[in-house]
Amino acid sequence: MFQNFEGMQKVGKDNMDVALKSFGATSKGFQAIAAKVADYQKKSFEEGTAAIEKLIGAKTLDKAIEVQTDYYKTAYEGFVAEATKIGELCADLAKESYKPIEGVLAKANVTK
């Protein structure tokens, strides 16, 4: 019975280690995503402010429409690029978070 208790302790410790590794990877992934989103928000705000300044300085309606069109085009392209990067970070997050668990599952399938 004493050996079973030690075995249970080892399994419990191993599972805790796996959970902590998975949590660490998840935490790092969320930090990377948050940093990327914050950078994008700052960049987007600066570009929007610059576009408003150009729009206010426009002398003609045609120039105002041109400034607004250029801003919308740039903002859309920037959004799509950032959304793609954030999507890749989310996929990486899922992969890295699952890696420690994958090892435990592989061991479980071998022992069956």
SS (H, E, C) 56-76: HHCCCHHHHHHHHHHHHHHHH
What pLDDT is recorded for position 15? 79
What pLDDT is recorded for position 2? 53
pTM of the predicted protein model: 0.73
Q: Answer yes or no: is 20 within a domain.
A: yes
Q: Answer yes or no: is 15 within a domain.
A: yes
**Average pLDDT for residues 62-79, to the nearest whole number?**
95
The answer, yes or no, to whether residue 111 has pLDDT greater than 60, is: no
Q: Kindly indicate the confidence band of residue 67, based on its pLDDT and cuts at 50, 70 and 90.
A: very high
Q: Answer yes or no: is 84 within a domain.
A: yes
Domain that residue 63 falls in: 2-105
The answer, yes or no, to whether residue 1 has pLDDT greater than 50, is: no
Tell how far CA 106 is from the center of its chain: 27
Q: Answer yes or no: is 112 within a domain.
A: no
Q: Answer yes or no: is 111 within a domain.
A: no
Q: Answer yes or no: is 110 within a domain.
A: no
Cα angle 18, 22, 26; round to 5: 170
Counting the structural domains of the chain, the total is 1
**Average pLDDT for residues 50-63, to the nearest whole number?**
94
Q: Answer yes or no: is 86 within a domain.
A: yes
Residue with tokens 């599972």: 15
The answer, yes or no, to whether residue 93 has pLDDT greater than 70, is: yes
Q: Answer yes or no: is 79 within a domain.
A: yes
The answer, yes or no, to whether residue 17 has pLDDT greater than 90, is: no
